[in-house]
Each structure stands twice: as structure tokens, then as C-alpha cells.
Amino acid sequence: MRIDFLSRVYKRVSRRVLPLILGLILILFVGSQTTAVPAKSTEILWDTYGVPHIYGKDNQSAFYAFGWAQMQSHGDLLLRLYGQARGRAAEYWGEEYLDSDRWVLTTGIPERARNWYRAQNPTFRSYLDAFAAGINAYASQHGNLINDEVEMVLPVKPEDVMAHLHRVLHFTFVVNPEQVIGLSKQKLQAGSNGWAIAPSHSASGNAMLLANPHLPWSDLFLWYEAQITAPGIDAYGATLVGVPVLAIAFNDNLGWTHTVNTHDGWDVYELTLAGNGYRFDGKVRNFLSKTLSLKVKQKNGSLQEQPLVVKTSVHGPVVLEKDNKAFALRVVGLDRPGVLQQWWDMARSQNLNEFEKALKRLQLPMFTVIYADRKGHIMHLFNGQVPVRSNGDFTYWEGIIPGNTSKTLWTKMHPYRDLPRIVDPKSGWLQNTNDPPWTTTFPTAIKADNYPPYIAPRFMDFRSQRSVRMLDEDEKISFDEMIAYKHSTRMELADRLLDDLIPAARKYGQDIGRQAANILEAWDRQANADSRGAVLFAFWVEKMDWDQAFSKPWSENSPRTTPDGLANPKSAVATLEAVAAQVEKTYGALDVPWGYVFRVRLGDVDLPANGGDGDLGIFRVLNFAPGKNGRFQAVAGDSYVAAIEFSNPVRAMALTSYGNASQPNSFDGGKQLQMFAKKQLHPVWRQRQEILAHLQERQVF
């Protein structure tokens, strides 16, 4: 009994004290090099939406406080993500993380992160040191609020911050393991909407910006909303958990958002094996090879080691071997370690020239930039590190590339001047919904024929058509109207097809087909919680063969009104009747409300959803996974929204759909999800007096 008791005491004390000691050591180490320990006047003001407003006496202090704030809001998640970025997750948490570790180590993330950290200039390196010190200080003082499972990741080092960033940007967004394993370029379930409206198209005469990324509602994709104020910066926005700077932001003079662009920054090369090497330009080359050790935690707590052999060709690491072939991965940006400083300087910029000076470094490997400012300028930039390729169009480079010749091996990137870009178009508006840059505004401002055919594909999907319709049909858009448009659940695809489907169902359908036609005719063509007919239409679309569905395919000559028409009305009606029978059987009615079937859930909060898949032409994007009893739960989509008007003072509203914290007993308690279900945004408080009037907690360092 006594031994048991002492063992429990030791475990409890060691778990609390060791992180404290290690954290203090790191803080002292950081301080000895960079004086990263913040001044006493640094503070965090937490508002009632769980948003931290950070006031730093200097920049190191602000980074320190931002590390502290992220731990308070997302500590368990942050430490788990950093553990994965080290390539040691299987060692910490077991075999289920083995594939993750293999990917991280094969692609060289930890080693490259150490080099990237050393490559920072001394000043910015001190900021990263401070961010890590803030994380460790929080863990030292509040270890009881951190899950025991993730405490072994402590102390966090600044190299971990770089490794996490590198894993997220280059080896999740640019390319992810699922794409490589399947040798497919199918994108993640990640998207976004972005609008910039010039004074000429604005009811108030002020430029406006809409930021609206759509990402999965979990893991490394969670957004974190914050304000950072320090000498030379006063920016409000959001970043992904674990990233130490704002990635989408605005200040008093300008702002930007990102959308996932049609960027191809990676290739898989097929190598022909010969002996212990591979054929390249008529010769046999040897692989560079090294053996790493993977540790895997067993169910009994012991560690088992297994080797991981990493082979590298001139193209990059070998990620797959089969049928006497090897497949090597090449990814852009592995020699460009300055993205964090670029984002930081973008947020500090005060005009378009300063902003573009930061952008021209091209440290960010991908993402469209949509920009607006107080002077009335708006800009669309197809941003990214785009390889200079010898030949071929976008479709060619989507496939497996022959790796036996240097003719297909790209080594250079297009400079900034080569990228598709438009400033202040005649239309007075710019938009992107993950479509190619050619459709950012109308009349067309960026012409595809002026760029290499591998830069981006040519298409315009229904969500983009819906986006353009809302912007183009309203000559003067107010701030409130922009927010209302942002929440639009109207299905562009329904507007395109119902005029064919409804009469076809009445002509060719049986009784249930005619009933379905009546419901679709009465439906408001939206996916609001109370919309009746949306479920029937969405399920019908899911069963349709899109390649065969339309009588008139998409045309570059009519990009906003095609595709159109039903290629086979009888077949479409037969599908509708089968779907209608299933809907009636599952839900008891053909006109079941959308929000009964589709839900948003967080903890004990369970609410009817509005919004749906962007493929339906819905601007308000939600992606669902099957749940119980025929219900579906939102797992991705609208995740962060910021609507900004560059008035004086700046006017802004925002929302982080799932709330601004994932730690148990956080401030939010589902408040923002409830606002999400009501299509509401919360006010953005940026002035100190406003924040103090809505204060949840004040912390002084």
C-alpha cells in the first residue's frame, strides 16, 4: 500500500515538476541568446468569444504570449501535432501513428525543420524561441489542465514549430500521403471562398474583404482567431493551431485572405530500377540511402524498434516501390524557409507596395491571395512556387511523370512577375472559390492564353458561378449584404437543372416521380435548415453520373451558364424515383427538412445545419459524414469567416464555426456553433476599450 501510494505521488509530482524544470531551462536558454522572456507589461485580454487580444511590449513578448494563448485554448491538440511533426508519434502513442511517422521521416521534415530554424535571421529566430518559451511556460504553470497522454512532448523546441509548419504546408496542403500512396492528385477536402470589393462596387464607397476558408473541423486544420498588437503591428485574423503568426489577417489599412488554389507543386516520378540504382539519362545512378529507427509504443507500454530505410533519387525521396519500379516524390519550396517571416511582414504592411514587397519573396508554397485596402485597391494573386516545366499542360503533370530523363526534372520556379495577377479590375470585384485564376472577375481580366498551359486548368464550377452571380448582379454591395451573401445556401445546380428535371418527372415518372416533381417545384432551392426538397435534390445529384449528366457540357465560351440540360431525361427521372423511394422509407416523407437530416454537433450541442457541398453550387459550404439513423454530421466546410470594411474606423465581423478552443472547459461552450447555425457573426473588438467592455479574463506577464 505504501509503495503504491509513493509511486502515485512520484508520478504526479514528476509529471508536474519535470515540465516546469525543463520549461524553465528552455526559457533560460532562450533568454541567454535572445532575451525572449517577456516584459511584465505584456498581457492577454480574452474576450467573451474566447479570442485572445495580445499586447506585447516588444515582438518577443507578443510571440511568447501567443504561444501561451494557443496552449490555453488548444494545448492537447498542439502538443499532439508537434509530436507528429517530430516523427515520434508512434513512440508516444502507439502503432496507429506509424504511417504518420513514416511519412514525416521519409519526407525529411524534422531534419529540414532544424535547418530552417537555423536559417532564420537572428531577430526572427528570437521570436520563434519566445513562442516556444510561452508554450512551455504555460505547461509548467498549468500542467493539471493538460492531458497526461501528451505531456511527454514537452518541452517544445522552436524546431518543433518549424516542423509542424513544414508538415502542414508542404506535406499536407501541397501534397499529402493519401495522394502519394494512391498515386493520385485528388485534393484534400479543403477549400475556401474569398472576395475583394472595390469602392466602385461598394454601397459605402469603401473597399471590403471577405475571408472564408473551408477546412476539416479537426486535427491540424483547426483555425485559431486572435489579435496581435506590438510595436509595428496591430493585426487581427486567424492562423492554424500551432502556427506562430497570423495567416489570414487585416489591420487598419489593409487585409488579405487565402484560398486553396489550383496549384500543382509536386510530382511523382516513375523510376526504372537497375541493380541497386535507377536509370537516368542513359546511365545507372545509385540511390542515396539511410536507415532510421522507428520506435513504436506497445500496448504494454514497452517500445519496439524497427528500421525505416529511406532512399532518395535525384528527384526526391522514394515513397513507393512495386513491380520493379520505384516512385520518387518532388515537392516545391523545400529550400525556402521564410514563410513565417513573410506572413509576419504581410500583417505589418501598411499599403499595397509594402504588402507586395513581402509577397515577392515567394516563400509561401501555394494559396491564392485576395487583398483589399483602405485606399481602395483590390488584388488577386495566383500565389505559389510554380515549377518551370519543359512541356506539357496541367493534365499531363497531374499524371505519373517519367523519371528516366532530366528533360522532365524541373529545378527552377517561376518568379513573381510570371504569376497570374490582377489589381483593380474594371468590374470592381474579385472572387475565388478554388477555381482557376481565369474566372476571378468578369469581363475576364487574367487570360489563360497568356500563361503556360501547366499553370492552371480551365474550368469553372458551380460554386464559382454562384459566387460570380451574387457579385455581378448587385451593382452596389453593402457590408450587411456581403455578410448575407456569404451565408447564401442557394444551389446554383438546382437553378440550372430543375427547369429540365421537373417537366421530365411529370412526363416520364410514375406517381412517386410526380410527387417528387411537386416538391422540387415548391422548394426554395436553398439548403436552409427548414428547406424542403433540398434533401431529395442533393441525394439525386449524388446518384447522377456527372460525366454523362449534361446535354450541354461546360464551355469556356459560356463559362457562367454551362454545363446545362439533362442528357438523358428518362434516366434522370428513374434515378429520381429510386432516390425518392429511399428518402421516404428512411425519413417518412419526401419533403423532410434539410436540417433534420444534416446536423452540426459539438459536445452536447446538436443543431440543424444550413449549407452543403460546394459541388451543388452552394456558397455556404458544409461537408458531412454519415451518422446514425440516416443523419449526417458536419465534419468540414465553413470554418472561419471574417467580413471587413475599410471604413474609418475599420468595421469587421467574424466567426470561428466550432469555437476558438478545443481544451475541456473552454470559454466558448458551443456559443459560436450556435451562432453558426443562425447564420450570425460576432463583432470584432479591436480597440482596448471595446475589449475591456467584453472581458472574460486578463492575464499579465
- Region 396-419: what's the mean pLDDT? 97
How many Å separate Cα 194 from the centre of its chain?
13
Position 17 scores a pLDDT of 47
Position 23 scores a pLDDT of 45
Position 183 scores a pLDDT of 61
Position 33 scores a pLDDT of 38
pLDDT tens digits for 232-281? 999 999 999 999 999 999 999 999 999 999 999 999 999 999 988 999 99
Residue 365's pLDDT band, with cuts at 50, 70 and 90, is very high
Contacts of 471 (CB under 8 A, 6+ apart): 195, 197, 201, 429, 431, 477, 485
How many Å separate Cα 79 from the centre of its chain?
19
Position 166 scores a pLDDT of 98
- For 249, 462, 463, 640, the CA distances from 636, given in Å and listed in that order, are 22, 19, 16, 11
Residue 16's pLDDT band, with cuts at 50, 70 and 90, is very low
- CA 527/CA 489 separation, integer angstroms: 5
For the chain, give the percent of residues with pLDDT over 90: 89
- Percentage helix, strand, coil, to 5, in the chain? 40, 25, 35
Do 217 and 638 touch, CB atoms closer than 8 A? no
Residue 490's pLDDT band, with cuts at 50, 70 and 90, is very high
Instruction: Write the burial class of residue 693 (CB in 10 Å: 0-12 exposed, 13-18 middle, 19+ buried).
Output: exposed
pLDDT tens digits for 295-304? 999 999 999 9
φ/ψ bin of 293: left (φ > 0), alpha (ψ from -120 to 50), beta (otherwise): beta
Position 547 scores a pLDDT of 85
Judging by DSSP bridges, how do beta strands 622-626 and 605-608 pair with one another?
A: unpaired
- Region 218-240: what's the mean pLDDT? 98
Strand partners, 643: 210, 653
176, three cell numbers: 499529402
- CA 436/CA 446 separation, integer angstroms: 10
Position 2 scores a pLDDT of 35
Residue 184's pLDDT band, with cuts at 50, 70 and 90, is low
Judging by DSSP bridges, how do beta strands 52-55 and 223-230 pair with one another?
A: parallel
What is the CB-side half-sphere exposure of residue 46 using CA atoms within 13 A?
19
Do 83 and 89 touch, CB atoms closer than 8 A? yes
pLDDT tens digits for 65-107? 999 999 999 999 999 999 999 999 999 999 999 999 999 999 9
624: helix, strand or coil: strand
> What's the whole-number average pLDDT of the chain?
93
Position 29 scores a pLDDT of 40
205, three cell numbers: 464607397
**Amino acid letter for position 62:** A
Do 505 and 536 touch, CB atoms closer than 8 A? no
Q: Count CB neighbours of 228 within 10 A.
A: 28
Give, as one character, the DSSP assignment of residue 417. Answer: G
- Region 281-299: what's the mean pLDDT? 97
Q: Does residue 10 have a pLDDT over 70?
A: no
pLDDT tens digits for 644-669? 999 999 999 999 999 999 998 776 76
Which strand (E) or helix (H) includes residue 279? strand 277-280
Q: Does residue 36 have a pLDDT over 70?
A: no
Position 189 scores a pLDDT of 66
Q: Does residue 111 have a pLDDT over 90?
A: yes
Q: What phi and psi values does residue 648 have, to the nearest 5 degrees? A: -130, 100
Q: Count CB neighbours of 603 within 10 A.
A: 11
Q: Does residue 574 have a pLDDT over 50?
A: yes
Give, as one character, the DSSP assignment of residue 95. Answer: G
Q: Does residue 28 have a pLDDT over 90?
A: no
pLDDT tens digits for 581-596? 999 999 999 999 999 9
pLDDT tens digits for 125-167? 999 999 999 999 999 999 999 999 999 999 999 999 999 999 9
Closest CA to 56 of 227, 243, 299: 227
- CA 247/CA 347 separation, integer angstroms: 9
Write out the DSSP string of 320-365.
EEETTEEEEEEETTTT---HHHHHHHHHH--SHHHHHHHHTT--S-
Judging by DSSP bridges, how do beta strands 401-402 and 266-274 pair with one another?
A: parallel
Contacts of 254 (CB under 8 A, 6+ apart): 349, 350, 351, 352, 355, 371, 372, 373, 374, 646
Q: Does residue 26 have a pLDDT over 60?
A: no
Closest CA to 591 of 647, 676, 529, 520: 520
Position 13 scores a pLDDT of 42
Position 171 scores a pLDDT of 97
Q: Does residue 511 have a pLDDT over 90?
A: yes
Q: What is the dihedral of CA 347, 621, 463, 565, to 10 degrees?
A: 180
Q: Does residue 27 have a pLDDT over 50?
A: no
For the chain, give the percent of residues with pLDDT over 70: 93
How many Å separate Cα 633 from the centre of its chain?
19
